[in-house]
Amino acid sequence: MRPLTIDLDELAFALSTEGLDHYLDLLSGKLLLIREEDPDPELEALLRSEPERFLLVEPLGSREGFRMMEDFLQTVTRQEAYRALERALSGRKPFRTFKNVLMDYPDLLQAWYDFEAERLRELAQDWLLDNELQPVR
């Protein structure tokens, strides 16, 4: 496994952000963002000239996001909040509705943010292992 200095929080963000292309520079460990609407010509030229140097970070997708919300629900002990969140997940537009319900429970909203951040860091570490990379401690 190849050690690399990587910001796990940046990698977690890249994994959770759909609609933006992120690449991991395998030499520097930096994450690069390619904006479709305003691409950097130098960066695009570098990606074309040294494709083996960069690894595309594909977002996790909605299935993994939904699974995170289901896992979080299992940690909720307040019965009325649990039922409201459960309904949100089984209804239309579950992502939006789930977060709207959490707005009614500020302590749970913060717990969700903490849970989500921790889970994304774990998924980032898994992604590194899957790609045979080891973050330097």
For residues 119, 123, 126 and 128, what is the CA-based torsion angle, rounded to 10 degrees? -130
Same domain, 114 and 68: yes
The number of domains in the chain is 2
Rounded CA separation 113/110 (Å): 5
Per residue in 38-82, pLDDT (tens digit) is 677 888 888 889 999 999 999 998 999 999 999 999 999 999 999
Enclosing domain of residue 78: 62-118
74 membership: H or E segment, kind and range: none
- Total-model pTM: 0.85
Same domain, 49 and 78: no
Q: Are 132 and 20 in contact (CB under 8 A)?
A: no
Give the model's pLDDT for residue 105. Answer: 96
Instruction: Answer whether residue 98 shows pLDDT above 90.
Output: yes
